[in-house]
A and B are shown apart, each in its own frame.
Chain A
Amino acid sequence: MAAKKAASGTLKLSPTMDLNEASALHAKLLSMRGGNIVIDASQVERLGVQCAQVLVAGARAWQADKKSYVVKQASDAFAKTMQLIGIDAEHLVAKEI
């Protein structure tokens, strides 16, 4: 259930990103600070607001670290939930400088 690190620098989100998953996601992001990160959202079937806010906070942290933070292969459910709750994709992108 927990977000799994598929490879170094890649974080694969689990299908159900609910309240419970928010803590795991948070811990995972904290442990991956300092390097570039690719977030694989291809498997997400359900995305809760609390996970979304962790992802946004992550993007800001990576932005501050001047590292790249990219959400790739966002599933339809992921993209539409983000759009529904008014979180712009820009909130989730930090560029490596």
Chain B
Amino acid sequence: MDMNEIKEIFFQECEEQLAELESGLLKLNDGDRDPETVNAVFRAVHSIKGGAGAFGLDDLVAFAHVFETTLDCVRSNKLEPNQDVLKVMLKSADVLADLTNAARDGGYVDESRSRALVKELEALANGEVPVASAEAPKAQPKPAVAAPTDDSGFQPIPFNFDGFDEDETPADAGQVYEISFKPRRDLYSKGNEAALLLRDLSRIGEMSINCDLESLPDLDKLDPEESYVSWMISLRTTRSEDEIRAVFEFAEWDCDLEVRAAEASPSGEELPMVPVPFDLSILNDDASAEAPAPSPTRDAAETPAAAAETATEASKMAAAAARVERKESAAATAAAAAASNTAAAAAGQTIRVDLDRVDRLINLVGELVINQAMLSQSVIENDTTGTSSINMGLEELQQLTREIQDSVMAIRAQPVKPVFQRMSRIVREVADMVGKSIRLVTEGENTEVDKTVIDKLAEPLTHMIRNAVDHGIETPEKREAAGKDPEGTIKLTAKHRSGRIVIELVDDGAGINRERVRQKAIDNDLIAADANLTDEEIDNLIFAPGFSTADKISDISGRGVGMDVVKRSIQALGGRISISSRPGQGSTFTMSLPLTLAVLDGMVVTVAGQTLVVPLTAIVETLQPEAAAVHSFGANQRLISIRNSFCPLVDVGRILNFRSTQANPVEGVALLVESEGGGQRALMVDAIQGQRQVVIKSLEANYTHVPGIAAATILGDGRVALILDVDAVVAASRGQSLKPEMSLAATG
């Protein structure tokens, strides 16, 4: 395992910690005051800081430290986590995520924003009201005197006693602490180094040390990786006990540490103490050595920096350790452990598996399914009685294969929670930018769906959320005028429905302004001025390419590449999107997506001698057209009458150029499909072979994109069957013909 892999593990864990952090903060925002929630939030930031320190990610460490200090005030009940405080904290969580991303792959960090937040956090830690203050004091581990409490307006002035010591020599200044430090084996195996901790300690005061080597065994009985040495340290310093402990903070769980203020005289009568007064700059890594002599005026912020430096050096040692080839993996384990203080906690229940391995397994299972189908088919062809033991064994094999396939698919299934959590940040940021107050409510975030679907879901969802915030929800003034709660609500829900995942985005805004949409569509030449459209059709105009109702093009949305892009992304995932809106009450976007992109339940049909697969989800019903129900319309259009309504009849064979003339509808079967616009089409095929689950094989990856065809599959007899892209075929039937040069007559 090299350092990059270890770092990657750290970043993966950061993602988990950031998710924990955000969900914890949102819980607090909802009024949860469980100390465990506060602890979880604190731990998340602390772990990120610890890991970041080990990798020398100084920006991340510095920000996390300030954040953690403020969270510690909440944890110790010195700071009430009210809405204003949580607003700052949620923003800080966003910046922490940005800094993590920047450290990972050089993403963008708004430095002015992070600086402003540092000040806000520090102000909170100092007991000030959460309003950004340019002159906010530096963070202190303990909050200073609280805000004015007196009715008279009298304001207590914090008094600094440090000044009294200014004239004294540093040697006489400060308090003497006795520190007992006994590292455990884990301290070293996690990449920390006691010598570096002692060096950092020596920098904050005047230090004498006694090294206890009593427990050191004979050389031949010694385990070189065990920890035998412990220390008694006498430290005279102006720093607080907390600051002394902060030196050990990355190692605090892996050592026995006692820090206590010595009585009148410094310890040393019992133990022979060796002074450590000399210049230790040689032990630094680079020229940026700090002055070794402690000074009473030193900034408190140096302590975390020193601690971070320790961790940095420790990680370098760990890196050096990892480079050496060893039979045992102790060094690699040690370095991995250094990546995060909490790695061990999460390791029990889950394992991390490279996605490529899972994908390979899925592919192999796909092949197994195909192979099993082929085997079944050849046995059936050769054994007409259907009672042989081979046949029965094959049925069991089929069941097993199906179970294996389901289980493998479940490995790739992930809850939609991470995507939903990202949305809450977008709501916060966009709402801030447009001056609206909006609450995002999420439901069903543990609903699982294939990882590919999740990955591709984030972008369209982001766009829709931005739209909902920017256009959907009204300004607080308008809402109040309409008798609504000034705070708008956006509800994001996920649920499983008949083998698909359905994601709903509901806002309680003004709803679609149909008059304006209609006018815009007319202005953009999307519809004729006298077009007679239903409400549903007008609503669906927002999905038309190039449609944007924003009067001004803003940074947030309204670049004119809005909802049509969303619709295309959803369709590319094999999904559907629809909208329903009620004026004054809000809009609901419903997305229905397949649970996986690897298999598909399809209806196998014959068209002009070719075998095609039609996704079952697209089919509403199948019917055998009667001659009386088929009506000619125009030059070569035909309609079919179904329960007193007319539906265009589309000859799939003709559209795909399988044949040059239209087939006789009465001889075939009509598949009634629902198109994206909400209207229905009857697709004409010659015959239905049956329904089956097919393994999707990408045409783009293996051949090239073919209009009207979504993908391909391999049938039981080993032949390739094409999977129909129903929407493309329906669109083509409307006059947007498929490219003739891509005729499929030769590809089947």
Contacts and interface: CB of A to CB of B under 8 A. Distances in A.
A32 B631 CA distance: 102
B188 A20 contact: no
Given A20-B331, A48-B188, A61 B219 contact: yes
Given A16-B317, A48-B317, A80-B282, A61 B225 contact: no
Interface string B201-232: 01000000111010011111010110111010
A84 B280 contact: yes
B283 A84 contact: yes
B54 to A, nearest CB: 14
Interface string A59-80: 0110010000000000011001
Contacts of A50: 188, 224-225, 227
B360 interface: no
Given A18-B320, A56-B213, 20 more contacts: A19-B188, A20-B326, A22-B224, A23-B224, A23-B225, A26-B224, A33-B219, A48-B188, A49-B195, A50-B227, A52-B229, A53-B222, A54-B224, A60-B218, A64-B218, A81-B195, A85-B195, A85-B229, A87-B213, A91-B213
B446 to A, nearest CB: 41
A93 interface: no
A19 B334 contact: yes
Interface string A1-40: 1000000000000001011101101100110010000000
A57 B320 contact: no
Interface residues of B, number: 41
Interface string B320-332: 1101101000010
A22 to B, nearest CB: 4
A88 interface: yes
A25 B561 CA distance: 66
Given A20-B331, A47-B195, A88 B220 contact: no
Interface string B396-424: 00000000000000000000000000000
A93 B211 CA distance: 17
Interface string B189-204: 1010111001100100
A-B residue pairs, 4 tightest by C-beta:
A86-B211, A61-B219, A22-B224, A20-B321
Contacts of A47: 195
Given A48-B188, A57-B218, A19 B195 contact: no
Contacts of B217: 57
Nearest to A86: B211
A19 B189 contact: yes
B391 to A, nearest CB: 61
B218 to A, nearest CB: 6
A95 interface: no
Contacts of A33: 219
B509 interface: no
Contacts of B211: 85-87
Contact of A88 (B188, B274, B280): B274
Contacts of B189: 19
A80 B324 CA distance: 26
A40 B603 CA distance: 79
A48 B195 contact: yes
Interface string B102-117: 0000000000000000
A1 B324 contact: yes
Given A20-B326, A48-B317, A61-B219, A84 B231 contact: no
A91 B218 CA distance: 14
B220 A61 contact: yes
B317 A46 contact: yes
B56 interface: no
Contacts of A61: 218-220
A86 B231 contact: yes
Contacts of A85: 194-195, 198, 209, 211, 229, 231
Contacts of B191: 19
A49 B213 CA distance: 11
A18 B317 contact: yes
A48 B191 CA distance: 11
Contacts of B193: 18-19, 48-49
A62 to B, nearest CB: 9
Given A18-B321, A25-B224, A86-B231, A57 B219 contact: yes
Contacts of B283: 77, 80-81, 84
